[in-house]
Structure 1
């Protein structure tokens, strides 16, 4: 493997992108970006303090209050989105490489996924410039000429997580820009390179100063940004605990929030569906895609009690067949976890599962043959109580729990017995039955015979899985305010 394959092409890692230019860091504090499969330092990026964060927010505030961006037509703004989309597509491999280095996703999965989400998000929202009802003529109750207008929400703080940084950045920033908002992007210190690559593109295409600003900061600085009264809207993807803190801080000043948070997504395998077919859809694809570090992963496998053991055996066989290793190696089928901290979390939950009486059927430890990297074996538990910690709390790693149900109604009850509600799947040969069960599940997305989340339509959760939606028309609604204008007389 060539050394260049592990290089992330950052031009200004020692600077922040603020007000349309790269501002050198006034100090030498940096974040180390680790290659999670080797534990070597892959890059350094500048660490922002509260003063730098305030400058970025001030730049976005000026660009919104005084600049032309919010006053452009949606069509004029869409031209910039199209330019960004083209450059994102050209930089596909750089984004994919950074994703594998920082988060552990297999490179052969990362490349097409980046292509599927990044440019597509900006093109989808660029097209909405012609279809979204930014201004609708209405007739008021008194018979006057009226208009229902959608105007930009204002300055947006976009807090991006480490597990899918590029795609989640795109589905936050693209609709915000089309709406006419200005944005401060705050990536995770563990995975900041996608945001830096994105800032390079904004700089290259000549995006107006202050419209997009990018910096990396720790949680304490992020909290000052959330509380900054110059920020009108916060859009956050991450843990439910962090989302609660953001929601509480935003509530104090009635700031708008979109929160995409955690889950314990359930897969309901009904009695008419083949267990081996379900296991093929649930096992290897789950372990391969980001090593289970996905908020909408199907981690609770709810099956008829009579088929419990068969499902445990099938999933265990899939887990044991996985090949952990370097995500750039074509022979690897499961990569590392993103950080040592995340691996430690997974280990703690495995210990909890055993202590609570679940049956450890496969995995449960670090691979013995890999001395470097944050690897953990694909793990399967059987005989899991739905109230156990491993069934109720988000693990964010390669751990599946198989739960027995006594009937279809019981399976739905178990699936809904959670503080979360982001995603679910119903396995059945009957589409009508799938639709009926899906309507009874308290989740934001439900797939039939496979996980079928779709950002082009909308993505988000019920209960403590979040507030609001990302993607599609609802994702644009999140960045506009509705205004009613009623005229005393018709326009000339």
Structure 2
């Protein structure tokens, strides 16, 4: 393993079974900077044989009589506290690696990618220690039973490139606290930051086989999903991929959590103060260069204030600072790859062709290198337009007019997705009343922030199950009922 400079990081091993092992294949993943378009790193490309080795290590660590699952929560907490501290010590490096790989502005990476891992590990370690592992219940027929919460087993965790550290620990923190072991497959676009997790686990003395990391493409991920040694799958990614994973897990009767795509709506009510909430607007609509699953990319505006809303959003998009994601002043960085830039530009072209009006952006900024797209705002968008229905995963907003609150709610609920959303109003009770009618897993009033103490996840095509909150740990636990005292029948 070697690190030569900030511009180039190279690894030649995989982290499996508590140590650094030679990959079974000779292929490599090359990481290209979305800002400079230069190679910034290289790591091994994992194989099915590497997955076999990782699952076997995780299986041993879970099944052993004195394995991770058998530890008392207090004992696990000592290791998890050291792991959280080791991640904290690597927070700046993790943030920089994320920004360098996927274009996330460093200011966002320092808020989310850096501190979230340690925060979540400590949160779930505390929940596990406080949780009653056995509950005694009186039976309706007489007698008593014991209901036990047990770790579900070996987890196959597959994470995307847009928030690689934060999303990894949405899975890693609760499953470790619950007593599970894991094989983690990072996205090939963001593999360098995953090595900070391995290094932190090694430094913290996490027992061998509890955390195993094998990077690779779709084929490696598909092999992990169907592996006979895996007890549960936790996936974050596109709805298309999630459907395929759900089909496999359904056939295998394997528990699965799917956090998928979105096309969330921001419902602007007629009393909203958008000008006084510009930072919150940016955070809910354009954060991470628009590469965010719960992004509020459909803005539903009342006709009585339509021009005002369009003007405000156009000013927001035109006023952001586009540039190198490693600069503190940058608000919008590049798309993660040339392919992603092409995808976003394809949707912009489709919006123009379908008659929507560009009021901000619509092209590329004047830069010599990098996969940049200007933040783009479309007005006069029909609710059934392609740009208003499909997930773009870029800085593209569609402003849709409505006449009544009922119509706004109906438009919001007409989407096949149901992940995020916001309501903008100066009347909180009115906002709550609207929010309760929106068919979505999460929604905010005048802002959108995922609070780790509350469940996060989607309805409809946005996924199955929930992460974060106590519910996030429950997803990695199984229930066992023990019938203790027999009922007195007759």
TM-score past 0.5 threshold:
yes
Matches within 5 A, 1:214-233: 214-233=213-232
Tell me, yes or no, if the aligned pair for 2:420 and 2:441 is still in contact at 8 Å. Answer: yes
Q: Are positions 1:453 and 2:450 aligned together?
A: yes
Structure 2: distance between partners of 1:8 and 1:70: 38
Q: Are positions 1:415 and 2:412 aligned together?
A: yes
Q: Secondary structure at the match of 2:129?
A: coil
Structure 2: distance between partners of 1:69 and 1:330: 41
In structure 2, do the counterparts of structure 1 residues 130 and 284 end up closer, same or farther at CA, with 3 Å as the change threshold? closer
1:350 matched residue in structure 2: 348
1:482 matched residue in structure 2: 479
Structure 1: distance between partners of 2:359 and 2:189: 32
Structure 2: distance between partners of 1:308 and 1:252: 48
Tell me, yes or no, if the aligned pair for 2:260 and 2:463 is still in contact at 8 Å. Answer: yes
Matches within 5 A, 1:303-452: 303-367=301-365, 369-452=366-449
Structure 2: distance between partners of 1:325 and 1:429: 34
Deviations 1:194-253 (A, max 9, x none): 221101111122211111100101101211111112111000011100100100111111
Q: Secondary structure at the match of 2:208?
A: coil
1:139 matched residue in structure 2: 138
Structure 1: distance between partners of 2:348 and 2:78: 50
In structure 2, do the counterparts of structure 1 residues 14 and 4 end up closer, same or farther at CA, with 3 Å as the change threshold? closer
Post-superposition shift, 1:384?
Answer: 0.7
Matches within 5 A, 1:84-123: 84-123=83-122
Structure 2: distance between partners of 1:115 and 1:37: 20
Structure 1: distance between partners of 2:8 and 2:120: 23
1:82 matched residue in structure 2: 81
Q: Which runs of 5+ in 2 are unaligned?
A: none
Post-superposition shift, 1:484?
Answer: 0.9
User: After the TM superposition, which parts of structure 1 deviate over 4 Å for at least 4 consecutive aligned residues?
Assistant: 7-10
Structure 2: distance between partners of 1:341 and 1:182: 34
Structure 2: distance between partners of 1:469 and 1:312: 34
Matches within 5 A, 1:190-269: 190-269=189-268
Tell me, yes or no, if the aligned pair for 2:283 and 2:448 is still in contact at 8 Å. Answer: no
Matches within 5 A, 1:280-295: 281-283=280-282, 286-287=285-286, 289-295=287-293
Tell me, yes or no, if the aligned pair for 2:161 and 2:189 is still in contact at 8 Å. Answer: yes
Q: Secondary structure at the match of 2:252?
A: coil
Structure 1: distance between partners of 2:6 and 2:27: 23
Q: Which moved more, 1:409-418 or 1:67-76?
A: 67-76
In structure 2, do the counterparts of structure 1 residues 423 and 186 end up closer, same or farther at CA, with 3 Å as the change threshold? same
Q: Which runs of 5+ in 1 are unaligned?
A: none
Tell me, yes or no, if the aligned pair for 2:18 and 2:206 is still in contact at 8 Å. Answer: yes
Q: Are positions 1:39 and 2:21 aligned together?
A: no
2:16 matched residue in structure 1: 18
Structure 2: distance between partners of 1:133 and 1:203: 30
Q: Secondary structure at the match of 1:130?
A: helix
Tell me, yes or no, if the aligned pair for 2:16 and 2:213 is still in contact at 8 Å. Answer: yes
Instruction: Give the TM-score of the pair, scaled to structure 2.
Output: 0.95
Structure 1: distance between partners of 2:115 and 2:203: 22
Tell me, yes or no, if the aligned pair for 1:6 and 1:101 is still in contact at 8 Å. Answer: no
Post-superposition shift, 1:171?
Answer: 1.2
In structure 2, do the counterparts of structure 1 residues 430 and 86 end up closer, same or farther at CA, with 3 Å as the change threshold? same
Matches within 5 A, 1:177-192: 177-192=176-191
Q: Which moved more, 1:246-255 or 1:123-132?
A: 123-132
Post-superposition shift, 1:115?
Answer: 4.2
Tell me, yes or no, if the aligned pair for 1:269 and 1:278 is still in contact at 8 Å. Answer: no
Post-superposition shift, 1:279?
Answer: 5.5
Q: Are positions 1:159 and 2:176 aligned together?
A: no
Tell me, yes or no, if the aligned pair for 1:6 and 1:97 is still in contact at 8 Å. Answer: no
Post-superposition shift, 1:483?
Answer: 1.1
Q: Kindly tell me the number of residue pairs found equivalent between the two proteins.
A: 484
Instruction: Give the TM-score of the pair, scaled to structure 1.
Output: 0.95
1:126 matched residue in structure 2: 125
Q: Secondary structure at the match of 2:298?
A: strand
Q: Secondary structure at the match of 1:329?
A: coil
Deviations 1:17-65 (A, max 9, x none): 1111110123431101121111111110100111111111121112222
Structure 1: distance between partners of 2:273 and 2:78: 49
Tell me, yes or no, if the aligned pair for 2:409 and 2:434 is still in contact at 8 Å. Answer: yes
